[in-house]
Amino acid sequence: MKEVDLIDDYGRRYRIKNFKNFKNHILKYHTINGKPDNSLHIENGMSFTVTNKFFDKLMRI
């Protein structure tokens, strides 16, 4: 299980304990035809807007 630190929309660091599950969730619920939909993902009080920049960063990890 890979752990990854990400910075949320407010500049707070958040450790993703299971990055594979996080990435799969973003792909399933925050994209349209494989493209980011600019929706808001909230996890444990941390906010991540799924923009092109954020999505591209996730896909490179």
Phi and psi at residue 12, in whole multiples of 5°?
-90, 140
Report the candidate in 59, 7, 8 with the shortest Cα–Cα distance to residue 34.
Answer: 59
Q: How confident is the model at residue 48 (pLDDT cuts 50, 70, 90)?
A: very high
Q: How confident is the model at residue 1 (pLDDT cuts 50, 70, 90)?
A: confident
Q: How confident is the model at residue 23 (pLDDT cuts 50, 70, 90)?
A: very high
Q: How confident is the model at residue 43 (pLDDT cuts 50, 70, 90)?
A: very high
Per-domain residue ranges for the chain?
4-60
Burial of 1 (0-12, 13-18, 19+ CB in 10 A): exposed
In this prediction the pTM is: 0.92
